[in-house]
Amino acid sequence: MTAQVQIDQYQELMKRYNEIHHLGSIAQLLQWDQEVMMPREGGAQRAEQLAALQKVIHAHNTAPPIGEILATIDFNADWTDEQKADLREAKKTYDLATKVPADLVAEIARLEVLTTQSWVAARQSEEYDDFWPLFKSTLQRRREYADAIRGERCRYDALLDLYEPGETSANLRPLFAELRTQLRGILEKIQGSSHPTNPAALVTEYPEEKQRPFSEKVIQQMGYNLKAGRLDVSAHPFCTGTGGDVRITTRYNKNNFTEALFGCMHETGHALYEQGLNRERLPFPAGGAASLGIHESQSRMWENMIGRSEPFWEYFYPMLKEQFPTPFNNIAPDEFWRLINHVEKSFIRTEADEVTYNLHIIMRFEVEEQLLEDKLSIDDLPEYWNHQFQQDFGVTPTSLKQGCIQDIHWPAGIFGYFPTYALGNLYAAQFYNTMTQQLPVNELLSKGELLPIREWLREQIHQYGHTYAPGDLCKRVTGKPLSIQPMLSYLNEKYGKVYNFS
């Protein structure tokens, strides 16, 4: 084939992926609407809408002309890095889609709506009779889906690869084992500290209408463009969309201002990634985020490394005091910083501190492996969860909401996703370490200058989308492969100061 034919074929592919991208973004919007706006009785229709739409996307993804082009195009021709990545992702998407029956795709989409709707209702009423059968079907369909696509891999790895390309459970197991050991070590030092923290000092009334403007101020200062975004309320905070329409949600706890504030910073970290992608390449196969782990590195860095840092509050604490004279007029800045970094074993992952957070993830990784590989049934999940939790955290949940039904992921059919949260934390620490060597981060934070930080992230990470695999991106940005060391150094240094150990 001549070079021109190659280029024409590439462009024909991209034309098709342009439509697929826009149809996919409609599915995202339907899910946003479901969580944020949809009236209660809209669920049945939403399930059918998403089933029909996912079937259409599946048909587009498996269109024979795509297969024909991918079979003849020369992957080793003189492509740019971006084009090479587009072809790589196109081939991966096509190979994956052609292995899955359309009806299974539609059924999974349908069940995702029905089961998550039932999950919301069940958590409210604490009656789970309608929920369990749907939850079981959801897991069963996911097992079938994994079998369809796994080839030589185990089910878990087939699903994990959807969220964290190239990652495997064999790779994660020793990494997580070491991480768990180290985190337990830090946790022991904290629990033995002669200088404990008492977060009860932060508990008071924080009216939502006073929380919201403060959160808005912070996320706008981070550089979140709200003319291309929105902030709403939902049961489970999330970020969705891309390009000119990137929306985040939060939830307000009237006795705890940190939940909405750090939640907003977290979701804005995701939003800045989406807003920082190369707009022209958005509809291309490699135009989106590099992985969910890289995505999470952005949200966790803003939430924790920045949002729970001392210099950040040098600038923002006076404003917070102005908004909430009680209790902050009576709390010194350094004590405030210690309080927002309080470490404690707790039941709920999303409320966990930086030290215990990854222990929640590692436990979920182990539980979902059992679920996927038929070693654990949904019937036995609550008991198994409680047993594992007792082992890891030394306490037993007293309700399903506090235990295995706390997260939306599994009811939504999302198994193999949790490890990306731990990987995100590790990537965040490693990126942040490099950033502090290239930018006067603490000085910027103490002046409330957050835009240079966003720019650094945009330049080093966001603009590339998925041109590079996550591991390769990490090496490009930090010069080294991913390791747990930056995270451990960060935690030891920070919490040594908070809890006065070394």
Cis upstream peptide for 327 (omega within 30°): yes
Query: Is 267 a residue of the active site?
Result: yes
The two structure tokens encoding residue 356: 């215990």
Q: How far is the CB of 249 from its own copies (least distance, A)?
A: 12
Q: Which of 39, 64, 394, 479 binds its own copies (CB under 8 A)?
A: 39
40 near its own copies (CB under 8 A): yes
Strand, helix or coil for residue 496? helix
16-35 residues in contact with its own copies (CB under 8 A) are 18-19, 22-23, 25-26, 29-30, 33
Q: Mask: binding to its own copies, 216-255, rule CB under 8 A, as x and -?
A: ---------xxxxxx------------xxx-x--------
Q: Active-site residue among 89, 164, 167, 267?
A: 267
Q: How far is the CB of 22 from its own copies (least distance, A)?
A: 4
CB 337 within 8 A of CB 316: no
User: Which H or E run includes 81?
Assistant: helix 81-97
DSSP letter at 303 equals: I
Give the residue with the Cβ less far from its own copies, 44 or 395.
44
Pairing of β 239-242 and β 229-233: unpaired
Give the residue with the Cβ less far from its own copies, 152 or 280.
280
DSSP 313-364: HHHHHHHHHHH-HHHHTTS-HHHHHHHTT-----S-GGG--HHHHHHHHHHH
Look at residues 163, 8, 13, 167 and name the one whose alpha carbon lies nearest to residue 88: 13
Look at residues 337, 441, 353, 439 and name the one whose alpha carbon lies nearest to residue 393: 353
84 near its own copies (CB under 8 A): no
Give the residue with the Cβ less far from its own copies, 38 or 96.
38
Q: How far is the CB of 80 from its own copies (least distance, A)?
A: 24
DSSP 377-397: -TTTHHHHHHHHHHHHHS---
208 near its own copies (CB under 8 A): no
Pairing of β 245-250 and β 239-242: antiparallel
209 near its own copies (CB under 8 A): no
Q: Which of 2, 4, 41, 394 binds its own copies (CB under 8 A)?
A: 41
**Nearest-angstrom CA–CA distance, 339 and 203:** 11
Q: Residue 356: is it exposed, middle or buried by C-beta count within 10 angstroms (0-12/13-18/19+)?
A: buried
Residue 86 has phi, psi (to 5 degrees) of -60, -45
**Nearest-angstrom CA–CA distance, 418 and 358:** 10
Q: How far is the CB of 235 from its own copies (least distance, A)?
A: 17
Look at residues 37, 381, 425, 59 and name the one whose alpha carbon lies nearest to residue 234: 37
Q: How far is the CB of 48 from its own copies (least distance, A)?
A: 5
56 near its own copies (CB under 8 A): yes
Q: Which of 1, 5, 7, 44 binds its own copies (CB under 8 A)?
A: 44
Q: How far is the CB of 267 from its own copies (least distance, A)?
A: 15
Give the residue with the Cβ less far from its own copies, 154 or 233.
233
Give the residue with the Cβ less far from its own copies, 147 or 208.
208
**Nearest-angstrom CA–CA distance, 78 and 93:** 22
Stretch that binds its own copies, among 52-60, 91-99, 196-204, 454-462 (CB under 8 A): 52-60
280 near its own copies (CB under 8 A): no
Give the residue with the Cβ less far from its own copies, 20 or 423.
20
42 near its own copies (CB under 8 A): yes
Give the residue with the Cβ less far from its own copies, 55 or 136.
55
Q: Which of 6, 9, 31, 49 binds its own copies (CB under 8 A)?
A: 49
Binding site for its own copies (CB under 8 A): 18-19, 22-23, 25-26, 29-30, 33, 37-46, 48-49, 51-53, 55-56, 225-230, 243-245, 247
Q: Which residues are designated catalytic?
A: 267
